[in-house]
Amino acid sequence: MVEEHEEHIENWWFKLKKKYPDLYKWFCIETTEVCCPAGTYGPDCIACHGGSERPCHGNGKCDGDGTRGGDGSCSCNREYTGEFCLECADGYYSILKNDTHSVCAACHDACKTCSGSTDKDCKDCKEGWIKNEDETCVDVDECAVEASPCRDDQYCLNTNGSFICKACDTSCVGCTGEGPGKCKNCSSGYTVEDEKCTDIDECNLAEKVCLRENEDCINTPGSYKCVCSESFEEKDGICVQTEKTGEEVETLGTAPPSAGHEDL
């Protein structure tokens, strides 16, 4: 029964395809009237802006393309603008343009608008760029100003058309660049050595910094810490001998037999 049913469906499908070679057109467009031919839109399947052959002149998408909805307006690719996507957007210039075709290419990074591909072809400079005497858009060095645009614990790094604020080294109080050699002043726990801020090893100073008995000094970047020596632990602010567990006491109390000794 199942095989007969499947065979019946296959025969029906074959006859349907033979009668209607374009099933999509027959079913979706003509029968259910849910779809429209490509390049058309709306209840009456009207041609998209720019024509049904190349909606939006091939430079964008038609709203409702292939459906019974939408308004046929163009959403242009980023290079293009205008009702029919024939104009070049800001940051792009025209390579080719006629009544039916438009090709736009990217301006130089320095240009907001342009007539060609180089920084000398800028009509207007982007923010962060300025025209020099040669009418070329050049980068503005925001870091060259007397008052840095960055916080006190950062340094300014110029980039094309902008800048970046980067954190100073931990050894610095204020800095002019990357690393401990660019500090304006050294952080607490650091001192200038070989023209850079270097960690002070407080544990090797002539005057001891860890004063309690049975206590060791451990140096850390920019500081130090005092910890109880091995086999000691801190209790009530002092370092006391670590108490041995019962097992440890038992082990210590069991002496190995003396070599050559015999009970009489």
3-class state of residue 189 by DSSP: coil
The better pLDDT of the pair 167, 20 is held by 167
pLDDT classification of 159: cutoffs 50, 70, 90: very high
127: which strand partners?
none
pLDDT tens digits, one per residue of 69-108: 899 999 999 999 999 999 999 999 999 998 888 999 999 9
Mean model confidence pLDDT for the chain: 85
Segment 131-157, tens digit of pLDDT: 999 999 999 999 998 888 999 999 999
**What is the CATH code of the structural domain delimited by 201-244?**
2.10.25.10
> What is the reported pTM?
0.61
What pLDDT does 255 receive? Answer: 45
Element holding 14 (H helix, E strand): helix 2-19
Structure tokens at 140: 């503005």
Of 10-24, 29-43, 49-63, least confident by mean pLDDT is 10-24
Instruction: Identify the residue with better confidence: 262 or 226.
Output: 226
- Segments making up each domain of the chain, as ranges: 24-88, 141-200, 201-244
Widest Cα–Cα separation across the chain: 125
Alpha-carbon Rg for the chain in angstroms: 41
**Cα(77)–Cα(64) distance, integer angstroms:** 16
